[in-house]
Amino acid sequence: MTVRSGAGVVAGLGVRVMVLVAFTACGESGPLVTVYSPHGRDQLVIFEQGFEAANPGVDVQWVDMGSQEVLDRVRSERANPQGDVWFGGPEVFFSRAAAEGLLEPYRPAWASVIAPEARGLDDLYYGVYLTPAVITYNSDALAREEAPRDWDDILDPRWAGKVLIRDPVASGTMRTIFGMIMYRSLEETGDTAAGYEWLRRLDAQTKEYVLNPTLLYQKLARQEGLVTLWNLPDVLRVKAQGLPLDYVLPAGGTPVLVDAIAVIKGTRRPELAHAFVEYVGSREAQLMAARQSFRNITRTDVPTDSLPAWLVDVNRRLQPMDLDWNLLESQGREWIRYWDAHIRGQGGR
């Protein structure tokens, strides 16, 4: 970390923000921004390097953890915040944090050019990516036509003992997929019983609940399991790295998460936090995320011919599910608690 004092200029890929570098009470110098994120090392390193290159003397310190873990950490640090920016995770988590007074309002310069559904309430958070959930499979073991085509196909007896699932307690992606199943049950039957039964059947199919995404990819690549439910950008990223994984966009539609960014309330470095938010949503950084990290961006002012081919193809085929995200937010924790206490590891009993 480079220590600087006085006034400096932060230029974030087309965004210039004047930053006053001040000394903290503990004696450390100011040009450090701490980012909590579930986006994984590959994307976080790219953004760290890009932001630091555009802002000489500023150091990005990122902490990689699951979305639920970020929320829990921000809660636990409420009285003495250690992070500055929360970068990544489903909108429902940000909405919960906003309701609990954990986020600082900030309206970035790019707020008006993103999709309407990506604009959070009262400037407390903004969506920067749209993240579809997909069915993922080992492409060495299965041809595309052999893989499950829709959500219910994962319950076919042929997949018994061949399903790996990222632990839903810590994962925003899996909580959203489970929430989709429960919402579908309520819509079709007026009750949650069918949804819980679906999750019991999935539990009976599941070989292991995996602790983190990296282990999930490795186990799938080694054919310790053949299929999983996960999110599109992560699958495309590890596929590009050479792992034998591929995906199916479910035929009946898929939940599309709004993946957001926010300033953590009580940040000791608000100017740097604002600069990082501006950087992430800038046109150049959005294109970098699409091209290098396989993110579906929320900016609506980027010409189609500037987008990578994979994104143009996905946007053409994607069928977003119409979900009640407020219901998923209000009931999701109870659904996961019940699943964890009464369904996990029960083998469908």
pLDDT in tens, 31-47: 899 999 999 888 999 99
User: What pLDDT is stored for residue 9 in this prediction?
Assistant: 30
User: What pLDDT is stored for residue 203 in this prediction?
Assistant: 98
User: What pLDDT is stored for residue 30 in this prediction?
Assistant: 47
- Helix (H/G/I), strand (E/B), else coil: 221: helix
Which structure tokens are listed for 18? 């004047």
Q: Using the 8-state DSSP alphabet, how is residue 99 labeled?
A: H
Of 112, 111, 109, 116, residue with least CA distance to 130: 116
Q: What is the pLDDT of residues 287-297, one digit of tens each?
A: 999 999 999 99
d(CA 37, CA 160): 33
28 pLDDT higher than 90: no
pTM: 0.82
Of 221, 219, 240, residue with least CA distance to 292: 240
Average the pLDDT over 331-336 and give the result. Answer: 95
Half-sphere exposure of 135 (CA within 13 A, CB side): 23
User: What pLDDT is stored for residue 349 in this prediction?
Assistant: 57
Q: How confident is the model at residue 348 (pLDDT cuts 50, 70, 90)?
A: low
As beta bridge partners, residue 257 has 131
d(CA 10, CA 349): 58
d(CA 97, CA 337): 19
8 pLDDT higher than 50: no
Q: What is the pLDDT of residues 176-185, one digit of tens each?
A: 999 999 999 9
Q: Greatest CA span in the chain, whole angstroms?
A: 65
d(CA 121, CA 267): 20
Q: What is the pLDDT of residues 160-181, one digit of tens each?
A: 999 999 999 988 899 999 999 9
Which residue ranges form the domains of the chain, and what is each CATH number? Answer: 6-130+258-317 (3.40.190.10), 132-255+321-342 (3.40.190.10)
Q: What is the pLDDT of residues 228-241, one digit of tens each?
A: 999 999 999 999 99
Q: Are 81 and 55 in contact (CB under 8 A)?
A: no
Amino acid 3 reads V
Q: What is the pLDDT of residues 129-145, one digit of tens each?
A: 999 999 999 999 999 99
Q: How confident is the model at residue 14 (pLDDT cuts 50, 70, 90)?
A: very low
User: What pLDDT is stored for residue 21 in this prediction?
Assistant: 33
Of the two residues 90 and 273, the one the predictor is more confident about is: 273
Which structure tokens are listed for 107? 């309206």
- Helix (H/G/I), strand (E/B), else coil: 66: coil
Q: How confident is the model at residue 5 (pLDDT cuts 50, 70, 90)?
A: very low
Q: Using the 8-state DSSP alphabet, how is residue 116 labeled?
A: G
127 pLDDT higher than 80: yes
Of 267, 70, 98, 102, residue with least CA distance to 172: 70
